[in-house]
Amino acid sequence: MKKTLLTAALLAATVCGVHAQATDTISKVKASGNVTMGVRDSSGALSFTLGNGQYAGYHYEICQRILGDLEKTVGKKLDIKYLPVTSQNRIPLMQNGTVDIECGSTTNNVARQKDVAFVVTAYVEEVRMAVRADSGITSISQLSGKKVATTTGTTSVQLLRKHERANAVSFSEVFGKDHSDSFLLLESGRADAYVMDSQILAGNIAKSKNPADFKIIGEVLSVEPIAIMIRKDDPAFKKLADDTVKNLIKTGELAKIYDKWFMQPIPPRNTKVNLPLSDATKLAWAHPNDKAAEEYVTK
């Protein structure tokens, strides 16, 4: 019995030790010499691929600044690995330690805060709808009998369902595996509308063959904080990441980074997203926080 109890105790201690190590990103990175950044292939100007394993974007650049401060903390140059993640696997990959920081387009909400943590918000999004310019659709209320595209695993699905119930609008949903796939559904005529974050809509339109063929219209469905994701229960790394963003705000550097990715021509086609800084994002910068979407007022 004593041997059994001792074995059980050692096993429990080992499990606890592994858990503690898994949530201590700074120690993990210092020991291994590498860090893994979760990136997105088509999350608008926040995170997108340039091809050949290269990535860019607003959140991508902020994450690079965070990892620069992480290198100073651990006292050595780190090997940064980039792992493309999707809306479906980003949280599990963060929880199991595969990804150390996720730099995409993840909404910070109460449900997700049970599984992961978020860096203070650097971007606040409005969820809206893109349609073909010649469709005649100007409002969510005109979607009866239409096909609406959205991306599997995103919060836009929930918003669509809530809006449908509230207004008795009957439409069918079609799902893309990622944001570019969802836009392709609209572009190819397999969907009549695409509901998603405004900057993702704007980014995909800017990259399309004929940007003038599309427009963003309709009501604002939701105002949501889009944040960089890290592991839960890792206060040291969260403080480091939070301090990096707060310092970028304080020095005015974050405003320059925003202008670079949202108001200036960006690769790969040197087109402009042309999405001016919103009042909601300005407010988030003025009072840095990691509030969940439920604390934001929907317009």
Give pTM, 2 decimals: 0.77
CATH number of 23-124+225-295: 3.40.190.10
Q: Which of 107-116, 269-278, 286-295 has the lowest mean pLDDT?
A: 269-278
Distance, in Å, from the CA atom of 276 to the CA atom of 298, rounded to the nearest integer, reads 19
CB atoms within 10 A of CB 238: 19
On the 0-12 / 13-18 / 19+ scale of CB atoms within 10 A, 11 is exposed
Tokens linked to 235:
């206060």
Bridge partner list, 231 = 116
Contacts of 65 (CB under 8 A, 6+ apart): 244, 248
pLDDT at 21 over 70: no
Round to whole Å and give the CA distance between 8 and 67: 38
Q: What is the amino acid identity at position 33?
A: G
Q: Which of the following CATH numbers is that of domain 126-224: 3.40.50.2020, 3.40.190.10, 3.30.930.10, 3.30.360.10?
A: 3.40.190.10
The CA dihedral of 226, 229, 234, 236, to the nearest 10 degrees, is -70
pLDDT at 161: 67
pLDDT-derived band of residue 251, with 50, 70 and 90 as boundaries?
very high
Where residue 168 falls among pLDDT bands split at 50, 70, 90?
Answer: confident
Domain positions in the chain: 23-124+225-295, 126-224
Backbone dihedral angles phi then psi of residue 155, each to the nearest 5 degrees: -75, -15
What span, in angstroms and rounded, lies between the C-alpha atoms of 241 and 118?
9
pLDDT tens-digit profile of 145-166? 999 999 988 877 677 767 665 5
CA–CA separation, 108 vs 120, rounded Å?
10
pLDDT band at 6 (very low <50, low <70, confident <90, very high): very low
Q: How far is it, in rounded angstroms, from Cα 65 to Cα 28?
A: 19
- What mean pLDDT comes out for the span 195-221? 88
Distance CA 202, CA 51 (A): 20
The three-state secondary structure class of 179 is helix
Say whether 126-224 and 23-124+225-295 share the same fold. Answer: yes
For residues 86-113, average pLDDT = 96
Q: Give residue-wise pLDDT tens across range 24-78.
A: 999 999 999 999 999 999 888 999 999 999 999 999 999 999 999 999 999 999 9
